[in-house]
Amino acid sequence: MRTCLALFSVLLFYFAVLDLTLLIVQKRYKELVLAVPVLCLTYFLEQCFDMAVAGTARAEAVIGFIAGFAALPDGLLLGFCLVPAAVLFLLFRSIRRYGKRQITRMSVKEAMDSLPAGILCYAPGARVLLTNYAMEDFCRKTTGAELIDGVTFRNQLLEGELLPSCERRLLGGETVIVLSDGEALSISESDIPYESSTVRMLVTYDITEAYRKTRELTKMQENVERLGVRLQKVNREIVAVTVEREVLNAKVKIHDELGSNLLAIKRYLLSGGTEEEKAELLEHTRCSVSFLKNDAPSAPVPDEYELLFSMAARLGLAISVTGALPQAEHQKPVIATAIHECMTNTLRHAHGDALHIEISQEDEWVTAVFTNNGDAPEGEITEKGGLKSLRELAGQAGGSMTIQTRPAFTIAIKLPKEDAYGL
């Protein structure tokens, strides 16, 4: 029992020395009034138990008071040990709480080490003054070495060669290092005054999310630019198609006008006519020549269908229509051109005097079928001139044209109800 108490007293003595030292470090001099007596008491207990364990020969060399105290019962001696132990425990707990509440150099270092941002401060001579765990880890990931020289690390980070798994980029005027796992860190440096000199500070920030969004925005911008180029190309193609369509309409109109005039002149020469018919033919011929000279007449142009029916009446051709003729802007020019082409073919090639037009509508399509009472063609039809232009015009409107020669010559024009090209 005395041996255990001797060991316990030694631990109490060293524990008292530790508490006294920490109080001095924390500059808590008021608590020393309690710590010093406890230290003396633990030293006294340690000496008493040492004498009790060492034997009588050593005890006779010391004062009788200490020898008598060492001879007290074990229970009483244990009580003398527990009292300073409790006081030392309370002092140590107070010291720990004080250290957590007060800002010290160690607490500042611990706070810096726990920061997610990397911090490095180094002197002009490259000596590292301050760093934290994040910067040390960043140094190993980018250079593969430990952070020892501040200037060397800075130069290698901003201008030198990094590990193959790392990539250096510029973002908004700042250097960004992208690590192998996709983490992006921005680097900034500044000078801060320290005592009588200047210290260079290097800080790294985790901007992985911002970097990812910036990259996505950059890709979106590139896609928008490519889309803009495609739209410009489509606009140019639309303009080209529009011009081609207008040119085709002009060709068709010239063909219609000249064909009608020639047929009317042929009929006038074969069957004769009045001076009024002659004057009307001259007027139409003059209008056609004016159109070829790009000198269109100033008089308002009548409806295309009415003009064609009036022309057919002058030529002695009867036209019958089943259904309603299409009036949509993308349909009417095609149907009108088809009527004129069928009129010309009926009179010139089939030698007929009647043209029938059947208009039908189904789902999203309008179909116009043209037949005549003339002679059927003897062989295959070679599309050229008017028929070729008519097929191109129907295709530009989003439709199609079909020609049948048996049992009778038939032309079918199929057009969409809505303008397929928005022209």
CA distance 162 to 185: 14
Give the closest residue to 368 by CA, choosing from 329, 407, 337.
337
What's the average model confidence in pLDDT over 267-285? 71
C-alpha neighbours within 13 Å on the C-beta side of residue 72 = 16
pLDDT tens profile 292-302? 565 444 444 46
What domains can be seen in the chain, in order of their start residue?
Answer: 2-102 (no CATH), 107-206 (3.30.450), 227-416 (3.30.565.10)
Q: How confident is the model at residue 45 (pLDDT cuts 50, 70, 90)?
A: confident
Taking residues 259-268, what's their average pLDDT? 72
Confidence bin at 328 (pLDDT 50/70/90): confident
- Residue 151 three-state SS: helix
117 has which bridge partners? none
Read out DSSP for 26-53? TT-GGGHHHHHHHHHHHHHHHHHHHHHH
pTM of the model: 0.39
* CA angle, 123 then 124 then 128, to 5°: 30
Q: For the chain, give the percent of residues with pLDDT over 70.
A: 76
pLDDT tens track for 81-126: 777 778 777 777 777 777 666 666 666 777 778 888 889 888 877 6
Does residue 56 register a pLDDT over 50?
no
Condensed to tens digits (0 to 9), the pLDDT of residues 244-257 reads: 666 676 666 666 66
pLDDT score recorded for residue 322: 92
Mean pLDDT of 232-247: 65
- 65-69 average pLDDT score: 59
* CB-CB contact of 297 with 290 (8 Å): yes
Tokens standing for residue 93: 């707990």
**For 59-68, 106-115, 135-144, 367-376, which range has the lowest pLDDT when averaged over its residues?**
59-68
Average pLDDT, the chain: 78
Per DSSP, the residues of 121-136 read: EE-TTSBEEEE-HHHH
Q: Give the pLDDT confidence score for residue 58 in this predicted structure.
A: 45
Mean pLDDT check: name the lowest of 5-9, 133-137, 348-352. 5-9
CA angle centred on 231, ends 226 and 236, rounded to 5° = 130
Q: Report the distance separating Cα 235 and Cα 228, nearest Å.
A: 10
Residue range 174-182: average pLDDT?
86
